[in-house]
Amino acid sequence: MKNFLFGLGLGIGLGVLFAPMSGEETRNNLSDRANDLKANARDAYEQNRERIQRGVESIRGTAERAKNQIRNTGTDTNVSVPNL
């Protein structure tokens, strides 16, 4: 029993001596990291959202040009093309 208590005391002492941070410091560190992760996720979301919006606008423009080209081609050949 004496050896157990000695080992326990030594372990606690060494744990306190070599502990990298206190509980409060650890919680603050985790909170900071969580906030950084949240900010990075928000930035990535915004960048991808903008990129997708540009892609959709490009596709709409291409579709509009194709629709107009089809209408013009139909008019040139006297073929009726329904509205798209």
Enter the pTM of the model. 0.47
DSSP 12: H
Torsion angles phi and psi, residue 40, rounded to 5: -65, -40
| Total number of residues shown for the chain | 84
Q: Identity (one letter) of the amino acid at 75?
A: T
Q: Identity (one letter) of the amino acid at 28?
A: N
Q: d(Cα 40, Cα 32) in Å, to the nearest integer?
A: 12
DSSP 20: S
Torsion angles phi and psi, residue 6, rounded to 5: -65, -45
pLDDT 10s digit of each residue in the chain, 84 long? 778 878 878 887 777 667 777 778 878 888 888 888 889 889 989 999 999 999 999 999 999 999 999 888 866 555 555 665
